[in-house]
Chain A
Amino acid sequence: DAGVIQSPRHEVTEMGQEVTLRCKPISGHNSLFWYRQTMMRGLELLIYFNNNVPIDDSGMPEDRFSAKMPNASFSTLKIQPSEPRDSAVYFCASSVARLSTEAFFGQGTRLTVV
């Protein structure tokens, strides 16, 4: 398996634009997680899905952020409208089950909002 695949690897956009980040989890994994990493706050969980259903989105910072998982092999994280403070590295991770199993991370998307 190629691991968790994220696209794009880098994204530079202007403030106010819509940004869509994409993730393909490892085949057979039932749980998918979106994290954000910044120097100030470290790694923060934004939302996670179990069997394509959002379980906890309490980490989503604002209504400008939304995430979907239309099927077991694809998820998106959308920011609309984007702001400079959204600049961060966004990671997607997947695991076999929701709890107590090893999490596998993608390479991340480095987002810069100017």
Chain B
Amino acid sequence: KQEVTQIPAALSVPEGENLVLNCSFTDSAIYNLQWFRQDPGKGLTSLLLIQSSQREQTSGRLNASLDKSSGRSTLYIAASQPGDSATYLCAVEDQGAQKLVFGQGTRLTINP
């Protein structure tokens, strides 16, 4: 059974810092991996989608990498801003179950 783990569960950093969020998954047989952002009381917004054949994707200040063989992904946020404060969720599309399996998320706080 696919399991997705995100470390740390919470992170608080001062504005302007570069930071890395980690995601690991137990079964490397995945179609893709997605990073989502969730603001309090809101739905999820897809940030980046990495297909299983890709190594990374970039969008603005965000860069996500995927190492399928080791079952790991990182989300790199450059020059963090208070508006980046949110919960970030990692999800893998599992080949076996053919559905998205989510991690518990990392709650990020950027302090002005």
Contact = CB atoms under 8 A, between A and B. Distances in A.
Contact of A99 (B31, B44, B103): B31
Interface in B35-76: 36, 41-46, 49, 51
Interface in B66-112: 89, 91, 93, 97-105
Contacts of A106: 43
A100 B51 contact: yes
A100 B99 contact: no
Lowest 10 CB-CB distances: which A-B pairs, in order? A105-B43, A43-B102, A105-B44, A107-B43, A42-B104, A100-B31, A102-B46, A100-B32, A45-B99, A102-B49
B24 interface: no
Contact of B93 (A56, A91, A100, A105): A100
Interface string A74-107: 0000000000000000010100001111111111
Interface residues of A, number: 22
A99 B51 CA distance: 11
Contacts of A100: 31-32, 51, 93
A25 interface: no
Contacts of A42: 102-105
A42 B5 CA distance: 11
A48 interface: yes
Given A43-B89, A98-B98, A103 B43 contact: no
